Amino acid sequence: MPTAPPTPEADPQSCIPRLSSIAQDELIERAKGLTGADAVTVRGVRVILKALSEFEGQTWQQRWENAGCQDPGRDWKDRLGSPWKGIYLNRAAFESANGIADLIAMDVIRPSYTWLREGSPRLRRIRLNRHPDFFTQMTEHGLGLQVRPSNIENGLTVMTKVLAHTGAHLQELRPEHLLGFRDYQIERGKTPDGLTYAWAALKDLRIFDSTTPGLLQAVAGRRPSVPEMVDSYGVRSQPVRDMLVRYLQIREPSVDYSTLRWMVYELVKNFWLDIEAHNPDANSLRIGFEEGRAWLSRFTHGSISTKHRTLFIVRGLYLDIASWATDDAYWAQWAAPSFLTREDTSGANKHKRRTQARIHQRIRDLSPILPKLLTSTAEQLKDAQALLAAGAEAEQGQEFEHQGITYRRVELRRRTINAPRGSGRVWVTGGRYERRFDLTQHEDNCFWSWAVINTLNETGVRIEELVEITTHAFSIYRLPETREALPLLQIVPSKTDRERILLISPELAHVFALVKRRIAAVDGRVPLAVRYDGAERIYSPPLPHLFQLRTGSERRTMSPSWVRIAIKEAVRRAGIKDDNGDDYKFTPHDFRRLFATSALSAGLPIHILAKLMGHQNISTTQGYAAIHDEETLRHFRSFLDRRRALRPHDDYLEPTEAEISEFHEHFKKRKVELGNCGRAYGTPCIHEHACIRCPVLRPDPAQRPRMEELIGALQDRKLEAEQRGWLGELEGIEISLQAAKEKLNQMARKVSLGMPGIPSA
């Protein structure tokens, strides 16, 4: 039976192991009680202790270190004086390996990470006698989450080495112990494989406190402060350095951290360091005209896509200081005329217009492609799910048929370090898959591509807003009159710090329902995940994010780069090519522009669209609308008509009989129930024959009784709609009723003058 862990007899944080001061005979007796102990393992413990007793030291750990065994790995037995000399190699290897493993398990010796890496210790035997129940739980935990076996094995190895090196009891483990192993691996240029899973398992098994952050959050570097960012560039002038730090600290509360970093880069790297490089004695912002123009010439030479941003930030520095100088004496000494003028930055508008024109043309090209992409992603997901279901029903190594194509499910060993993903996944060969292909991962990729693309298309949110959506963002609003439930989605403030509420369409509700079903735990709850904000360089608190992925046993929100890759892969699978044969490029922001374009084309007022998109200025929304300007086209057509009227009549042919007949037929069709239609010749009815509402209807006074009859019928329909709660129908009836009353008033004002009399001669 497994023995209980050793009773704490020393501080695990100290370098003295708990049982390192116990006499040799007592240690041998304890070794006899270990799991799997026999005469060979006990003899190995006895030989090692006898060899260590020849070295100086108050504890066995000190003797181990004085013998030179702490860091060397492979030759540690030779450092002990070759106690197994003259014994068969197999017996010597077996005794020494089991003996040192038992001494480590009992916390008599705490080897270094170097020894644990190079000494080829029997880690399984250490686990067998040091918290064996925990390692069993850790294995079951990983298998329950379908963590790949290689990752589980690496996690077990990490935990064994950490416990062996630190000597800490399981309940005494702290994140610092695992971070020490990570530092060792990073220092030797290696990735600490298995550490992520080990960290997550310790949290899930409640060894770590629930408030312990994830591994990525724990190792995330602290974002540098303004003085640290400025000092990283090495400004020589101390007064200028202090001024720049003070200026940026004043601006810091009004901008996000990403913008602040760009400001530091532009002002320090692009501006001041170049000034110092050409004028080492510069210690003031009073830069002469010639020197300033020389910097401008050097900076704007060549193609620099962000040069206008730099000019605006530098000019803003001078203008801000001039404004602050009237209130603060400190800034008065730094106030100086700016060598940059408004004309220097005027090219930004031209560059902006060119960029906007390219974007508009890009959206016009993508608009007809979008329906095909949406249809293709849905078909990809449906096909991937059907193929995965067929593969899951087949036994490993068995062939199966799907849509007339024969596949074979690849047989994988369940527990092996080299197993690619674990037994819970379906790998196949056959069809278009010459090499083994992971159907489980393929279906997962298709699903998330479908979910991301449809969410962006239905909401028009920014990419950072997409990955921030949580289950807390959903709410239900009930109309006061009918108590009809309307699902709403709250978009948290992002770029413009403007919160907004979107109505969830049935299509979007379907997407969210499937996403929640996929990521929910067994109890139906959405797991908590931490999101990293790349702009602010901070981690959010754990929240039930919808767009999250599982890495090992950890839950992480999708990064913006992951979303872009998902969209790119969906386009590739759809086979949507441009004229050059390359895949069309869809970015997450393209869907935002397409959303705005579609909404405006459908008649949504631009001020409402601006609110839905979170824009502070309507002009920003207008820049997103890549639609053809119908007003411009209409005016151009009128110009052509006027120019045609000025040309000689001989330039035009005489109308044919068919054209004249068509002209007469047009005026016959203008006669309607309530009067005459005033639409121009050659134009169709654009109001879908809703004559009561149509502004071009010319009502006939003779049809006044008919109009009064229609008004009465509309009032009856309005009363019925109010009684039955048909609010959507009621709105349309009220519009028609108001238009009918206006037409009735026009009939009352219209007076028939009759035919003029012709006087007799």
Q: Is residue 758 part of a domain?
A: no
| CA 270/CA 314 separation, integer angstroms | 10
Residues 398 and 509 in one domain: no
Residue 21: both structure tokens together: 């001061």
Q: Which residues contact 439 (CB under 8 A, 6 or more apart)?
A: 384, 387, 388, 391, 425, 426, 427, 428
The DSSP secondary-structure symbol of 268 reads: I
Q: Is the pLDDT of residue 386 over 60?
A: yes
- 3-class DSSP state for residue 110? coil
Q: How far is CA 606 from the centre of its chain?
A: 28
Count structural domains, the chain.
5
DSSP H/E element including 378? helix 370-393
Angular region, 537: left φ>0, alpha ψ -120 to 50, beta rest: left
Q: What tens digit of pLDDT does each residue of 740-757 get?
A: 888 787 776 544 434 444
Q: Is the pLDDT of residue 649 over 50?
A: yes
Cα–Cα nearest to 518, from 569, 574, 447:
447
Residues 66 and 194 in one domain: yes
Q: Is residue 14 part of a domain?
A: no
| CA 559/CA 548 separation, integer angstroms | 9
Average pLDDT over residues 544-553: 82
Q: Is residue 12 part of a domain?
A: no
Query: Pick from 298, 329, 345: which residue ends a domain?
Result: 345
Query: Pick from 404, 419, 440: which residue ends a domain?
Result: 440
Helices (H), 119-213: 123-129, 132-144, 149-166, 175-187, 195-204
pLDDT the model gives residue 646? 62
Residues 71 and 147 in one domain: yes
Going through 499-627 in order, the beta strands assigned E by DSSP cover: 500-503, 532-533, 538-539, 548-551, 554-557
pLDDT-derived band at 416, boundaries 50, 70, 90 = very low
pLDDT the model gives residue 419? 42
Q: Which residues contact 759 (CB under 8 A, 6 or more apart)?
A: none
Q: Which of 196-200, 305-309, 475-479 has the lowest mean pLDDT?
A: 305-309
Long-range (24+ apart) CB contacts under 8 A made by 365-372 are 366/584, 366/586, 366/590, 366/594, 367/594, 367/597, 367/598, 367/626, 369/576, 369/584, 370/457, 370/594, 372/574, 372/576
pLDDT the model gives residue 566? 94
Cα–Cα nearest to 64, from 95, 107, 8:
107
Residues 433 and 451 in one domain: no
Helices (H), 55-88: 60-66, 76-79
Helices (H), 485-581: 506-519, 560-574
Residue 483: both structure tokens together: 């108590």
Sign of CA dihedral 19, 20, 25, 28: positive
pLDDT the model gives residue 746? 73
Residue 557: both structure tokens together: 């929100």
Tokens 């403007």 appear where?
498
| CA 138/CA 133 separation, integer angstroms | 9
Let me know how long the chain is: 761
- Asked if 104 and 122 count as a contact pair (C-beta separation under 8 A), the reply is no
Q: Is the pLDDT of residue 721 over 60?
A: yes
pLDDT the model gives residue 1? 34
pLDDT the model gives residue 376? 93
pLDDT-derived band at 417, boundaries 50, 70, 90 = very low
Q: Is residue 677 part of a domain?
A: yes
Cα–Cα nearest to 492, from 500, 481, 480:
500
Q: Is residue 1 part of a domain?
A: no
DSSP H/E element including 408? strand 405-409
Residue 473: both structure tokens together: 């963002």
Cα–Cα nearest to 141, from 193, 185, 207, 191:
207
Q: Is the pLDDT of residue 723 over 50?
A: yes
Residues 107 and 243 in one domain: no
Q: Is residue 260 part of a domain?
A: yes
Tokens 């916390």 appear where?
107
**422 vs 150, which has greater pLDDT?**
150
Q: Is residue 604 part of a domain?
A: no
Q: What tens digit of pLDDT does each residue of 212-265 get?
A: 887 877 887 778 899 999 999 999 999 999 999 999 999 998 888 888 999 999
Q: What percent of the chain has pLDDT over 90?
A: 22
Angular region, 194: left φ>0, alpha ψ -120 to 50, beta rest: left
Decide: residue 489, CB within 10 A, 0-12 exposed, 13-18 middle, 19+ buried.
buried
Residues 61 and 196 in one domain: yes
Cα distances (Å, whole numbers) of residue 437 to 301, 384, 391, 724:
51, 12, 11, 58
**67 vs 92, which has greater pLDDT?**
67
Count CA atoms within 13 Å of residue 701 on its CB side: 8
Query: Pick from 170, 187, 218: which residue ends a domain?
Result: 218
Q: Which residues contact 537 (CB under 8 A, 6 or more apart)?
A: 223, 257
pLDDT-derived band at 553, boundaries 50, 70, 90 = low
Task: Convert 283-315 into a string of H (helix), E (strand) and C (coil).
Answer: CCCCCCHHHHHHHHHHHHCCCCCCHHHHHHHHH
Range of the domain at 175: 24-218
First CA to last CA across the chain, in angstroms? Answer: 138
pLDDT the model gives residue 614? 81
DSSP H/E element including 489? strand 485-491
Residues 248 and 189 in one domain: no
pLDDT the model gives residue 350? 72
pLDDT the model gives residue 647? 58
Q: What angle do CA 265, 268, 274 make, to 5 degrees?
A: 115
Residue 659: both structure tokens together: 């054209």
Residues 69 and 209 in one domain: yes
Residue 597: both structure tokens together: 């374009």
Q: Which of 237-251, 300-314, 706-720 has the lowest mean pLDDT?
A: 300-314
Q: What angle do CA 211, 137, 164 make, to 5 degrees?
A: 80
Residues 393 and 468 in one domain: no
pLDDT the model gives residue 353? 76
Cα distances (Å, whole numbers) of residue 728 to 89, 495, 725, 732:
91, 35, 9, 7
Residues 475 and 380 in one domain: no
Q: Is the pLDDT of residue 602 over 80?
A: no
| CA 412/CA 435 separation, integer angstroms | 14
Average pLDDT over residues 474-484: 76
Q: What tens digit of pLDDT does each residue of 325-353 get?
A: 988 889 999 999 888 888 777 766 777 77
pLDDT the model gives residue 119? 81
Residues 694 and 680 in one domain: yes
Cα–Cα nearest to 207, from 131, 148, 140:
131
pLDDT the model gives residue 626? 65
The reported pTM is 0.68
Going through 684-743 in order, the beta strands assigned E by DSSP cover: 697-699
Q: What tens digit of pLDDT does each residue of 488-510 get?
A: 888 876 655 567 888 888 888 89
Give the chain's mean pLDDT. 81
Q: What tens digit of pLDDT does each residue of 668-690 get?
A: 676 777 777 766 656 667 666 67
**Most confident by average pLDDT, 64-73, 244-253, 355-364, 620-629:** 244-253
Residue 492: both structure tokens together: 């948290």
Q: Is residue 620 part of a domain?
A: no
Residues 248 and 209 in one domain: no
Q: Which residues of 110-146 are buried (b: 16+ CB within 10 A; e: fewer)?
A: bbbbebbbebebbbebbbbbbbbebbeebbebbbebe
